[in-house]
Amino acid sequence: MSMTHQVEDDKLMVEMRGVNKWYGQFHVLKDVNLEVKKGERIVICGPSGSGKSTTIRCINRLEEHQKGDIIVDGTTLNNDLKNIETIRREVGMVFQHFNLFPHLTVLENCALAPIWVRKTPRDEAEEIAMKYLRRVKIEEQALKYPGQLSGGQQQRVAIARSLCMNPQIMLFDEPTSALDPEMIKEVLDVMVELADEGMTMICVTHEMGFAKTVADRVIFMDKGQIIEENEPHEFFNNPQSERTQAFLSQILNH
């Protein structure tokens, strides 16, 4: 449970202003405005195809936006490769399908970016890797290959791999959607712990329990637009928009 955490009101980590994106003719993001303060935990939810994944994938330039501004920790995202690399060093990302590197051991997966991007000496990088593997309680698997681990274990490794770069912001793109039900909790526990330590987090997820207990704000997106944005208690108990009400009744009552 996260009771005492610090949101620094004056420090914006992510700022999206009037962001628009098209896939060919298809308008996938429509005038998205989002501000995330340091230490804040945002949950983005919405039906599939609503643009929630695309929104967070624009933050680290896995997708390119065509209109509007995105500023991450003071750096403006444009076509300058230097800026993109700076931002990617500061932003960690966890994917729905883990995307671990199958030809490398768990330890090598984690130490890779510190060695090659941050130029950390190998033994130091491996120490960092072990530290985060311990934190996600998986250090005993360090020398195995990802293919030998369960889905939940792989996702925890993926979280550790991101943390090894010491990111300022963590993006989670449906981190539990590809997991078997009995493995969801072990991943959510790690995420809750991370939130308790004050990490700035933006999570796209369908885990409404996680949203209720951890989020500072819940954002509901539909058809490429932000429809509603509120603190979790109000969002779940008193949704304003009809579309939000319809969505919540679909996912909560079954």
- Backbone dihedral region of 158: left (phi > 0), alpha (psi from -120 to 50 degrees) or beta? alpha
95 binds another protein (CB under 8 A): yes
Distance CA 94, CA 155 (A): 8
Does residue 56 contact residue 95 with C-beta atoms inside 8 Å? no
Query: Among the candidate windows 26-34, 108-116, 209-217, 231-239, which touches another protein by CB under 8 A?
Result: 108-116
Query: Among the candidate windows 6-14, 15-23, 95-103, 226-234, which touches another protein by CB under 8 A?
Result: 95-103
Buried b (16+ CB within 10 A) or exposed e, 189-220: ebbeebbeebbbbbbbbebbebbeebbbbbbb
Query: Among the candidate windows 56-64, 181-189, 210-218, 232-240, which touches another protein by CB under 8 A?
Result: 56-64
CA neighbor of 17 nearest in space, from 2, 30, 32: 32
92 binds another protein (CB under 8 A): yes
* String of contacts with another protein for each residue 158-177, x by CB under 8 A: x--xx--x------------
146 binds another protein (CB under 8 A): yes
117 binds another protein (CB under 8 A): yes
Distance CA 101, CA 110 (A): 10
Distance CA 28, CA 191 (A): 28
Kindly state the smallest distance separating residue 88's Cβ from another protein, in Å. Answer: 4
- Residues forming contacts to another protein in the complex (CB under 8 A) are 60-62, 81, 85, 88-89, 91-93, 95, 97-103, 112-113, 116-117, 145-148, 158, 161-162, 165
